[in-house]
Chain A
Amino acid sequence: MQLALLMGFVLAAASPLLNRWFGQRASLVMAIFPAFLAAWLISLAPSVVNDGPMLLEWQWVPSLGISLSFLLDGLSLLFGLLITVIGTFVLVYAGGYLKGHADIARFHVALVAFMASMLGLVLADSLFTLFVFWELTSITSYLLIGFNHTDIEARKSARQGLFVTVAGGLMLMAGLVLLGIASGSWSLHEISQMEGDLRQHALYTPMLICLLIGAFTKSAQFPFHFWLPNAMAAPTPVSAYLHSATMVKAGIYLLARLHPELGGTALWVGILSLVGATTMLTGAFLAIHHTNIKKLLAYSTIMALGTLTMLLGIGTEYAMTAFVTFLLAHSMYKGALFMVAGILDHETGTKDVTAMGGLRKLMPVTAAITMVAALSLAGVPPLLGFIGKELMLEAALGAGSFRPLIVLFAFASAVLTIAVAAIIALRPFYGQRQSTPQDPHEAPLSMLLGPGLLALGSLLVGLAPGLLGGNALLTSAAIAVSGQSMDVSLSLWHGINLPLIISIISLGLGFLVFKRWGGVRSKLAYLNPIMRRGPEAGYEGFMNGVVLFSEWQTRLLQNGYMRNYILVMLTVLIALIGNSILLRHSPQLAFELDVHFHEVIVVGTMAMGAIFATISRSRLGAVVSVGIMGFSIALVFILFSAPDLGITQLLVETLTVILLVLVLFRLPRFSNLSTTLERIRDGVAAASLGVLVFLLIMTAWSIDQFESISTYMVENSVPLAHGLNIVNVILVDYRALDTLGEMFVLALAAIGVIAMLRLRPVEDDDSSAVNGGKPNAKEPYDG
């Protein structure tokens, strides 16, 4: 299984090469990969359905207990099939849609990498693996939304999608870590087989909230829904694949995956039902505002995602059946509709449905496909969408809590969804023929194949749900979601019952809304001022605030003056260490003075050097005084028999003086720029640091909690490290890793100094070099 995933990333890397070799057929060649994976998953399906989940494990970081393990059960099988089958269609479709595009290779890289990541996400068993693939889908989604990188809107939308989903990803990470701590295992299948009940655990509430925020951002639940319509800036194959059929369902997948372990509590039912129902209605309501066909579909996707969340919240056996059926139905018809939207955009040159009309005669096949898919969206028999909607309404009627609210919201969304379906199916194809920017023709076969087969699938599965083991697959998926054994058997006819009556009423009302769509839209325009204050405004305000805050703190802390950096660093040091010394330890200030005369002289010289360095009015004098201090310290090292330290100190001191002299010659003459107040402040900071270091030494001296490791080092220096010079043995053997790190630090510092000296600004050159790192570039935040 890991081989299959690895292949995906290898293929992504190889796609520029494939594009060069196969030219315009590269999409078709690459589509073989997901098709092959789909066939492979289908071949595994019987054993998963009959014998239960399959587990494959591969040690990744054995010393940390992290393994790259994969789990294939009914739920991941269903998702895996959606990803691979729709992925095949999308790749074929993209070959037609982006035919001749200069950057098609880049598109293939991101799309195939996404495919592999998404597959990894739904197949992951380890929580680590799950999280890594989750983030990979966010990143590839960012690259795909921003595919048209010359368009500022596309860049802005891509960034927005990335920020929202990655912020959610951080919450998810916190949630997964809490889950791992609470359950004591990092493996999903082990967690599912655990004895104890996670719902009783003390960490349940924080864990659930973190996980839910992660899932809600990914799956565009209210109030994080705003990024999804903006993500429609992506090329249509991406919208069809990522933003309707697969990636946005990753959050739903996670919720479904965790439902058996975490679901069913009052908190879970309350949050999921209410957020799901709100999202459902918000999506359906906002959809009919728009005339852009992709936005219409995007909001109706939000409605569907809300429905799925709500069903997981309701949690009854009916709701589980409805969940898996609705999931399958939605992926099929929405994938098809998005691809049709791309065809319309491609052929007419506009995305506005009000600008199209009478296309039925010119594009008969497209019209037929749209009709079938839209009927499934509307939930009209005999399509799969009808079964999904019936089950959803039945589940809503059987909800344990918030029943009146859920039923009302479900009814309203059904009405509005029917209106949306009618707009998409009827508006562009019937009525008066309108002139469009381009002369429309029937789309090429490569673009019709995918949506055609998906629409056909909606029809066939609706007519005969038992065909090709459909029931068995859905049963297996529903069992994985509910955690109990159950049997799913779909049928078109449920008898005359309440859901059917609601369906019929909503069908009529929905058609009415469609008939008066223009009027409804102009009425809704009055609501625009309120809409502008929605969650998206909150997001923009927050992001602008972050930028303003960063600018402010950069101006305050990183203003380019050496004295400020030093002052800030020292103040922080004094505050943190001083606080911990005074609160946690009481330094022993009593000590016996047992000093020799020569020691007094050395220390006295040191003190004299320090005092002269501060009061000297000549730079050279100050440098020399600092040098005197350094040499006195070297003397102290030698007196206390540390010759290595002494030599090092001497050499470092010599070189420091040389470097300082070289630098000081470049500075202007000594002058006094600070006010008296500033000098007092600096004096206080310096004196505090001196006191702090003194206290630190006294504290370190008086604490003797552990046995010193120097004995060990002295004893083992010769037998283990074959060296008599313990200092050197420590540097190159005991602590060689530290030294290696320090070498890198030294190298980086040297390269930094060299680069800064070499790359000095040229006075009459462009101003960007002069401004360097100064934060004066004030650009308003545009996303």
Chain B
Amino acid sequence: MVKSGTIILNTAARFLMPLQLMFSVFLLLRGHDEPGGGFIAGLVAAGAFTLYLFAFGVSATRELLRMVDPRDLIGVGLLFGMVSVLPAWFMGQPFLTAQWWTIPVIDFKASTPLIFDVGVFLAVLGSVMGMVMALMEADKDEP
């Protein structure tokens, strides 16, 4: 159904996708202070891969993702979400209490909410990509 292989789309996708992915990481990291965050970043990243998918098709995208199956991303995302709970637990504080550390050299604020946000990012990316790819593949099966 989706005709892949038009020159403009192919060329655009090739250049846009890395930019979009970088942008999504940027959104993810700055999300705590300025507009952005895991959910938005996940959607942007999913948009990047979907663009690539439209341009080059499912098998090319699978090759791009190599070992990573979108369904695994969902699980890893949930795992990050759960792991971010553990530090508070070891400190004897209530469930999900945020913990903050500063990494000295680069003066970066590391925290459990950030781990949690990465989990949101991965879960959103995995869910959207999983659904889109399943839809595309379902389409391909038909004669």
Contacts and interface: CB of A to CB of B under 8 A. Distances in A.
B15 interface: no
B27 to A, nearest CB: 8
B124 A662 contact: no
A549 interface: no
Interface in B4-48: 31-40, 43-44, 46-47
A783 to B, nearest CB: 39
Contacts, number: 136
Interface stretch (A32-40, A90-98, A597-605, A640-648): A640-648
Interface in A633-661: 643-644, 647-648, 651-652, 654-655, 658-659
Nearest to B115: A732
A724 B32 contact: yes
A749 interface: yes
A662 B132 contact: yes
B134 to A, nearest CB: 4
B57 interface: no
B118 to A, nearest CB: 10
A665 to B, nearest CB: 5
A50 to B, nearest CB: 44
Contacts of A652: 43
A757 B39 CA distance: 25
A653 to B, nearest CB: 10
A737 B95 contact: yes
- SS of B interface (majority): helix
Interface of A is mostly: helix
Contacts of A643: 35
A740 B81 CA distance: 7
Contacts of A655: 43, 46-47, 50, 128
A485 to B, nearest CB: 49
B1 interface: yes
Given A651-B44, A728-B36, A747-B78, A757 B96 contact: no
A654 B32 contact: no
Contacts of B130: 750-751, 753-754
25 contacts: A647-B35, A647-B40, A648-B39, A655-B43, A655-B47, A662-B2, A662-B132, A662-B135, A662-B136, A665-B139, A724-B34, A725-B36, A728-B32, A731-B120, A732-B37, A739-B116, A746-B123, A746-B127, A747-B126, A747-B127, A749-B127, A750-B74, A750-B128, A751-B74, A753-B130
Interface of B: 1-2, 31-40, 43-44, 46-47, 50, 71, 74-75, 77-78, 81-82, 95-96, 98, 100, 109, 111, 113-114, 116-117, 119-120, 123-124, 126-128, 130-132, 134-139
Interface of A: 643-644, 647-648, 651-652, 654-655, 658-659, 662-663, 665-666, 721-725, 727-729, 731-733, 736-737, 739-740, 743-744, 746-747, 749-751, 753-754, 757-758, 760
Given A724-B32, A736-B113, A740-B81, 16 more contacts: A644-B40, A647-B36, A647-B40, A659-B131, A659-B135, A665-B139, A728-B37, A728-B117, A731-B117, A732-B32, A736-B98, A740-B96, A743-B78, A750-B127, A750-B131, A757-B134
Closest 8 pairs (CB-CB, A-B): A750-B127, A651-B43, A723-B32, A732-B113, A724-B33, A728-B37, A757-B134, A643-B35
